[in-house]
Structures are given as C-alpha cells and as structure tokens.
C-alpha cells in the first residue's frame, strides 16, 4: 500500500528516455488560448517536436499583426521547449480561387495577413486549402488561384519573407479544388518552381478522395502517383489523421489514429518512411484536449519501432473511486505511453476525470511517478487525489 510515509520517487524512465522516434518531427495542432506561445508549451507537454497553430481566429477575415510582446513570448517559448518546427493553418474563410471580385480580394488580403503574422513568428509554412470554384467553372478557378499565389508570392518575395505556402490536399467535398494530385501539379506548374510553395498532404483527405494507403502495395502506388504529379520534394507538411468514412467517399471526417478506415499499418509505414524524414507530421484528430497525447504517443511508438501496445491496470482512489464503477480499469496504450497519456485516455472515457492529471499524484507499481514517466506492459497505476492516503 502507498502511505504518507513513503518516500516520493519518480520513475527511473522519463519522457526523455523514451525512444526518440528516430528523429521524426511529430506533433499536433495545438491551442493558443492565452497567447500564441501556449501552442509550444502545451505541445512540449505532450511530446511534440513540431506544432501547428492558428495565428488568429480561423473564422474571421481581418486580424491584426502579432503584438511585439506576444511574438517575443513565442520566440522565448520556442527556445525553452526546443520545438524548432512550427507551422500555421490559415482562416477557413479564405478562397484564393473565389469567382467574385469582392471575396477574391478579401481572401488575398486575409492570406497576406496570415503570412505577415507567420513571418513575425518565424514559422516555416502556412497551410491553406486551395479554394473552391462554387459552380462557376473549374478551369477559371484554377487560373484565379494561380494568379493569387503568384501575386502573393511576388509581394512577399519583395518584402524578404521566408515563410512558405503549403497547399493542402482536400477531400473532394463540394466544389473544392485540390483533391486530385494532378490538380496540385497543375497549380505548382502554373505558379512555377518557387521555393516558398509546397504541398501539405492530409492522410484522411487523400483517402476519402480515393487514394488507398492501407497496404504496402497501395501505399507505394499512391506515393508513386504523388511523385509523378507533384514530386515528393514538394511535400512540406503532413497531416496524419485517420478517416471515419470509407475510401473514395469524398466526405471529410477525421478519426483517431488506427481507429478509422485507414488503420494502424498505414501510419506505421508513414512515420518510418525514409523519404519523409524531414517532413513534419501533424495530427488533427478529434477530442484534442484529451486524445492528442494518446494519438501522438502512438505515432512516436510506431516511429521508434516499439511494440504496438501495452496493457496496464489503473486504480482510482478518493472521490474518483466510483467514477468508472469502483473497479480497477484495464487500459491499452501504445508502447512508449506515459502516465499523462493514461490520464488523458481516462478523461476521454468520462468527463469527470478531465482534471485527473492536474489533481492527482500517481504511482506506478507503488512507486510515485511523474506525469512524464513511461509506462511498462503489465504495470499497475494508482491515481491519488489529496486526502486519499497518498
């Protein structure tokens, strides 16, 4: 039993000694509530080596530049966390292929603002969707998109910008552009071989658009098609999301890694593909507050070549005892998972456990353990709130 007299010891294996995931840039889209620097701090807490963020509200047209103090806090957090790779996603309102002059100009101005803020933060890329033709002609829409990109790149070249534009593959919903690799190639060719223009590949989007990556054969076939139409050298960011909907349905619904129609095998292949070693892989999976840590830990374990999963038993004490029926809870997590990952998975099961990680002390096999302590297969974890004998 754990008592108040037991000397507190953290587990010998910490987050720093978990396999390094072979140097892969793995991360998540992180929140910025309280300041843009929070994306880095919260990303570090769940093991990110890269992050994606919004530099402003994704549902408004006009946003101011980042305040100098906020930019300084971001740069300081970057130094302290060691997260060098950070990218942004732009506003959902932007349509650089819009058929009306009013919306097209608003989109161009808003996207320039996205690049302005990203340049302030020294971000690598701003990810953007390729727009939609809105039933006003696909060919004409591509011409408007190409012209918009040329104009924006030229203006920001003149301003000495380093941040690049990453055109995201889409699911093919509605009149959206960019759901076929040939469409991506068409835009890249139209703009020209510009060093600040690349592609963001979303696994859920390409899958529901009809590109199968579930087996070794289909994975290689899909990337051969990508190489032929686009070129892997133009791939700058990857969004790793499983899909709730089936192959080719053209419906964009993200799912947790390994729990959707794509499955684990494809993601294990993705994070160990030597062609993609320098490409940041970012998750945008559901229930981000509780499940980003779990999904990211799974990708890390796959990248490190660890075993696929481990099984643990969790005992809840104090006022948490009856939340999940008053009995020990059996959990399955990816190899390399931490106490924090286990707490996040419990919180995803029941909202009453959402503050478990911040409220409790934890022990692994009767030794007090830090939140970043790595779990071992078959171990027992105790969650001890104040006044529960721990």
Decide if 249 is inside a domain: yes
Both 329 and 267 in one domain: the answer is no
**Domain check: are 44 and 155 in the same one?**
yes
State whether 261 and 327 are in the same domain.
no
Q: How high is the pLDDT of residue 313?
A: 95
Same domain, 230 and 279: yes
Residue 242 lies in a domain: yes
* Structural domain that includes position 323: 310-384
Whether the per-residue pLDDT at 9 is higher than 60: the answer is no
Say if 142 falls within a structural domain.
Answer: yes
- The answer as to whether 2 is a domain residue is no
Please say whether the beta carbons of 261 and 242 come within 8 A: yes
Catalytic residues, which ones?
Answer: 59, 89, 92, 129, 168, 202, 205, 239, 252, 254, 284
Q: How many domains does the chain have?
A: 2
Burial (CB count within 10 angstroms: exposed 0-12, middle 13-18, buried 19+), residue 210: middle
**Any idea what the CATH number is for the domain that residue 352 is in?**
3.10.20.30
The predicted-structure confidence for 298-322, as pLDDT tens digits, reads as follows 999 898 875 556 789 999 999 899 8
SS3 assignment, position 243: strand
Contact between 216 and 269 (Cβ < 8 Å): yes
Residue 10 lies in a domain: no
Question: DSSP labels for 111-174?
Answer: HHHHHHHHHHTT-SEEEEE--B-TTS-HHHHHHHHHHHHHHHHHHHHHTT---EEEEEP----T
The DSSP code for 279 is S
Least confident range from 54-68, 187-201, 279-293, 318-332: namely: 318-332
- Together in a domain, 146 and 275: yes
Q: What is the CATH number of the domain that holds 184?
A: 3.20.20.150
Taking the C-alpha atoms of residue 326 and residue 324, their distance in angstroms, rounded to an integer, is 6
pTM of the model: 0.76
pLDDT of residue 118: 98
Q: Among all chains, which residue has been given the structure tokens 């105790």?
A: 382
Tens-digit pLDDT profile for residues 225-275:
999 999 999 999 999 999 999 999 999 999 999 999 999 999 999 999 999
Exposure pattern of 4-41 as b/e (b: 16+ CB <10 Å)?
Answer: eeeeeeebebebeebeebeebbbbbbbebeebbbbbbb
11 falls within a domain: no
Q: Which of 198, 142, 189 is nearest to 166 (CA)?
A: 198
pLDDT at residue number 376: 87
The DSSP bridge pattern shows strands 235-240 and 197-202 to be parallel
* Cα gap 247→207, rounded to integer Å: 6
pLDDT of residue 341: 83
pLDDT at 2: 35
In a domain, 12, yes or no: no
The answer to whether residue 14 sits within a structural domain is: no
Same domain, 370 and 235: no
Smallest Cα–Cα separation from 348: which of 259, 288, 275? 288
Which residues sit opposite 122 in a β-bridge? none
Are 117 and 227 contained in the same domain? yes
Token duo for residue 210: 């009809």
């Amino acid at each position: 039993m754990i008592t108040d007299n037991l000397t507190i010891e953290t587990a010998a294996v910490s987050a720093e000694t978990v396999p390094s995931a072979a140097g892969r840039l793995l991360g998540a889209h992180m929140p910025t509530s309280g300041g843009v620097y929070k994306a880095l701090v919260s990303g570090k807490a769940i093991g990110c080596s890269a992050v994606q963020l919004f530099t402003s509200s994704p549902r408004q047209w006009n946003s101011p530049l980042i305040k100098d103090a906020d930019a300084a806090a971001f740069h300081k957090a970057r130094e302290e966390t060691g997260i060098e790779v950070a990218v942004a996603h732009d506003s959902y309102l932007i349509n650089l292929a819009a058929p009306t002059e009013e919306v097209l100009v608003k989109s161009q101005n808003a996207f320039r603002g996205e690049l302005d803020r990203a340049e302030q933060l020294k971000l690598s890329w701003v990810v953007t969707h390729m727009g939609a033709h809105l039933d006003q002609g696909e060919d004409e829409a591509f011409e408007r998109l190409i012209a918009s990109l040329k104009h924006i790149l030229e203006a920001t070249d003149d301003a000495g910008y380093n941040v690049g534009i990453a055109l995201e593959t889409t699911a093919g919903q509605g009149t959206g552009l960019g759901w076929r690799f040939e469409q991506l190639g068409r835009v890249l060719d139209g703009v020209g071989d510009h060093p600040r223009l690349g592609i963001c590949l979303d696994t859920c989007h390409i899958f529901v658009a009809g590109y199968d990556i579930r087996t070794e054969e289909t994975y290689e076939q899909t990337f051969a098609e990508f190489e032929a139409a686009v070129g892997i050298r133009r791939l700058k960011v990857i969004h790793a999301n499983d899909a709730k909907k089936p192959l080719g349905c053209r419906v964009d619904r993200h799912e947790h890694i390994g729990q959707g129609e794509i499955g684990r095998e494809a993601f294990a292949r993705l994070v160990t593909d030597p062609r993609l070693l320098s490409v940041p892989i970012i998750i945008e999976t559901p229930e981000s507050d509780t499940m980003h840590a779990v999904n990211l830990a799974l990708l890390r374990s796959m990248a490190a070549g660890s075993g696929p999963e481990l099984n643990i038993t969790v005992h809840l004490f104090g006022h948490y005892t009856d939340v999940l029926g008053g009995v020990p809870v059996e959990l399955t997590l990816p190899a390399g998972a931490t106490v924090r990952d286990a707490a996040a998975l419990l919180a995803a099961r029941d909202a009453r456990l959402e503050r478990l990680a911040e409220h409790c002390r934890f022990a692994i096999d009767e030794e007090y353990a830090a939140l970043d302590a790595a779990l071992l297969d078959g171990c027992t974890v105790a969650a001890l709130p104040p006044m529960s004998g721990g």
